[in-house]
Structures are given as C-alpha cells and as structure tokens.
Amino acid sequence: MLPRQPLCCLPTPVHRLDRLSAELGIDLWIKRDDLTGFAAGGNKGRKLEYLLPAIQAEGATAVVACGSTQSNFIRQLGVACSVIGIRCVAVTMATPYPDGGERPILAKSLAGGNRVINDLAGVEVTEIPDGGWTELELAAKAQAETLRRTGETVYEVPIGGSTGLGAYGFLMAGQELSGQLDGVDAVVTASSSGSTQTGLTAWFAPLGVRVVGISADPEPEIADEMAALSEDLARVSGEPLARQAEDFEFRLDYVGPGYSIPSEAGEAAMRRLLKTEGILLDPVYSAKAFAGLLDLVEQGDVTGRVVFWHTGGTPAAFTY
Ligand SMILES: *Cc1c(COP(=O)(O)O)cnc(C)c1O
C-alpha cells in the first residue's frame, strides 16, 4: 500500500441501468466516479489521493500544471493544493491540439464550468493562445523555472496527473469495483492522458475482464504512453504489471472533430443517458466514451455484463 491522502467518497456507487439494459439487450452497469465527491467529483480525485503525499514528501510550496482551460484535472488539483496550503500555478490553452496538427475550430468561449471552481480555489491560471501540446508543456516548464528563481520549491505535475502514482489510484479503483460486482465481461471508459485506462487494465487484464478505452484525443501515440505508464506503475507498486502498447484496447474512432470539441454522436449519447437514466455526462470525455459504448454494443463487439466507468467532468457540461 502506498501513502494515501483521503479526498474522495469511496467506494463510489455502482448500479444497473435497467432501462438502457432492456433497450440495448445487454446487462449494463455504471460506475459512478462522477460522484467521487471531491471538488465536484470526477476521476482525477483518485489519482490525487496518491499524488498529494508525493508532492508533500518533496516539500513543495507550489505545483505547476498545464492543460485545457476546462481541464477537470487542474480544477481538482487546484482545490487539493488549497487544502494542503500550497500554490497551484496552471498554464492553459482553450483547445490544445496534436503537435504539427491543424488548429480545431471551437466557436464558443468556454466560460464558466471548471473556471468558476478554479477562481474560487485561488488557482493561478495563465491562459496562452492555442497551440500544440508540446508548446503548452514547454510554457509550463518555463513557468516552473520562473517560480524556482523566486525561491519556491516546485513540483511539476504531468498532464492529467498521469504518472505511475495516478495509475495506482485506478489499480485500486479496479479492486474496488471487483469487491462490488462479480461477473463483469467488459469495462468501458473514456481515455485521454492514459492513467485511468492503465490502472484499470493492470487490475482487470489478469482477471480476464476487457478494458476498452475510448479516446478523447486523435492520438494513437497514447497507447505507447500507456505502456510507459504501466512500467512506472510497476515500479511504484512493486508488482510486475508492465504491459505493451498492443495490450491496451484503445479506440480512436469516437473523437469526432477533435479534443475538447463536442461530437454529434457524443451529444446524442449525452441526451440518451440523461433522458433514460437521469445521468449527466460531459461533452469532452464521457459523452464520447458513452457514444463509443453504444456503437460497440450495436456492432456486437461488446456483450454480456458491461460496466460504463463514468469519469465525471460534469462542470464542463455548463460551458458549451
Ligand atoms: C481526465 C479525464 C478523463 C481521462 O482520464 P485519463 O486518466 O486522463 O486518461 C476522462 N474523463 C474525464 C471527465 C476526465 O476529466
């Protein structure tokens, strides 16, 4: 067991979706990580429970992070930093895109949502013009150096909190689900910076349970990043869990127009889950993942007892 700072209301509920199960002809369940409870919920709380002790062990006085303007990670990290009394400095872009790729078009300004919570918690945000992810990471690095020169002890947190420790939070989350529900055939989750899928795969693959990650980004390289993360997970957890890129079921077919740009199928999936079961998804991650689940069920690719892992993100539903 690694040092853990309790933040979330765990275990999160898991329950059956009776109406959608009947409509789809499968045994569909949902794992409610939208209800982790910390700072408006979502999957990043589980990672932060293991990241915070590491940040404190380094004696950090400030963390530096980067992500999109509506990053759910920055929101939850920012609040976690306020809880332990250190600064959270974030560099953001409205819609970062793949290096060398084309700039996506987003007609709206993305006000409100996670930004409201960032403001309330005192996160120090610098928003820079849109560009590639590497440009964003370099801007955060420069920010960290500036802070070091002023005497701060800085901890740089990778995008989405995706480190071995972040993945460990989801290894433990897999164990949590196994204690709640038997006979699962497949888990379907949104996937982006990779530690959610890496941790869940580390837990479920040895049990013969499929973990299908539906990507929110148009980037096949993420499978390699998950392989690297699983090595880091093996190192921090001391268990031989490392996996190769091809061991991850990582689907790129449901991204739509781009990262952080809503898709038509995602919006339809959002409406369908809300209107049948009363559960709200977010447009950037979980709606696209649920659209992927619906399509994979229709194709007969996913059958039996299926768990949709609701990763949260609901504050972003109020920005688009
Ligand atoms: C960050 C995030 C994801 C993706 O999780 P990763 O561990 O980054 O792959 C999925 N859904 C929501 C709502 C998120 O905020």
- Is the beta carbon of 73 within 6 A of some atom in ligand 1? yes
Ligand 1 pocket check for 195: Cβ under 6 Å: yes
pLDDT at residue 192, rounded to an integer: 98
Question: So what's the pLDDT on residue 14?
Answer: 98
Helix (H, G, I), strand (E, B) or coil at 135: helix
309, 312, 308, 311: which is closest to 27 by C-alpha?
308
Confidence tier at 177 by pLDDT (50, 70, 90): very high
For residue 149, the CA-to-ligand 1 centroid distance in Å is 32
Among 21, 68, 71, 260, the one annotated catalytic: 71
CA 286 to CA 79: how far, in whole Å?
A: 22
As a whole-number percent, the residues of the chain with pLDDT over 70 amount to 99
* 280 contacts 317 by C-beta, under 8 angstroms: yes
State the average pLDDT over residues 185-196. 98
Residue 297, CA atoms < 13 Å, CB-side half-sphere: 24
Cα–Cα dist 182/95, whole Å:
39
| pLDDT surpasses 90 at 194 | yes
Radius of gyration of the CA atoms of the chain, in A: 18
Task: Check residue 108 and give its pLDDT.
Answer: 67
Residues across the chain = 320
Tokens 């403001």: give the residue: 119
Query: Looking at residue 120, what is its pLDDT?
Result: 97
Query: Quick check: CB of 72 below 6 Å from ligand 1?
Result: yes
Structure confidence by residue, pLDDT tens digits, 208-247: 999 999 999 999 999 999 999 999 999 999 877 779 999 9
Contacts of 195 (CB under 8 A, 6+ apart): 47, 160, 161, 162, 163, 166, 167, 169, 170, 229
DSSP 94: S
C-beta 286 within 6 A of ligand 1:
yes
Position in ligand 1 atom list of the atom nearest CA 196: 7
* 169 close to ligand 1 (CB < 6 Angstrom): no
Taking all residues of the chain, what is their mean pLDDT, rounded to a whole number? 96
Q: Mark whether 71 is an active-site residue.
A: yes
pLDDT greater than 90 at residue 103? no
- pLDDT at residue 107 in the model: 61
pLDDT tens by residue, 255-306:
999 999 999 999 999 999 999 999 999 999 999 999 999 999 999 999 999 9
Confidence class of residue 19 from pLDDT cuts 50, 70 and 90? very high
Distance of CA 141 to the CA centre of its chain: 22
Q: Where are the alpha helices (DSSP H) in the chain?
A: 18-24, 44-57, 72-84, 114-121, 133-149, 164-178, 195-204, 222-237, 264-277, 286-298
Please check whether residue 310 is in contact with residue 20, taking contact to mean a CB–CB distance below 8 angstroms.
no
Distance CA 108, CA 209 (A): 40
pLDDT at 249: 98
**Atom number, ligand 1, closest to the C-alpha of residue 170:** 7
Q: Label residue 278 left, alpha or beta by phi (over 0 means left) and psi (-120 to 50 means alpha).
A: left
Got the DSSP string for 182-209?
Answer: ----EEEEEESSSHHHHHHHHHHGGGT-
